[in-house]
Amino acid sequence: MVGTRRSPSWGTLLAEHKHFQTVLRDIVETHDGLSVARIYAHVRRRIADPVVQHYLSLEFPYLPMALQQIITVSLLEMGYEAKGSRRRKRFYGRSKPLGSINGAG
């Protein structure tokens, strides 16, 4: 261990990632048809959330691109699809949960 700061455990990292995904899901399901830049703006408004604070603190100063990439990868990992032409892609909420078969979920 370097210095006095402890590294977070895998369980903590996973819990924070899942919480961040919950935040993203809430934003996309509430505000349909958002670009990654707009989703990022909504994330920044949730600064009172300790996990959001932590993710924002990891950004290089004045460079939101890294967090926007995390948002994009997370949404794709969660099963959301970006629709639209190049440079105008937007994420839309979905009416059925991921994994539902023939409307049974």
Per-residue pLDDT tens digits for 16-42: 999 999 999 999 999 989 999 999 999
Q: What's the pTM?
A: 0.76
For 38-41, the CB contacts below 8 A with 24+ separation are: 39/71, 39/75, 39/91, 40/64, 40/67, 40/68, 40/71
Average pLDDT over residues 47-71: 86
23 Cβ neighbours under 8 A, 6+ residues apart: 43, 46, 49, 51, 52
**pLDDT of res. 105:** 36
Domain boundaries defined on the chain: 34-83
Q: Are 64 and 35 in contact (CB under 8 A)?
A: no
In the prediction, which pLDDT does 94 show?
A: 75
Kindly give the pairing relationship between strand 90-91 and strand 82-83.
antiparallel
Alpha carbon dihedral 84, 29, 22, 46, in 10-degree steps, equals 90
Q: Give 65's pLDDT tier (boundaries 50, 70, 90).
A: confident
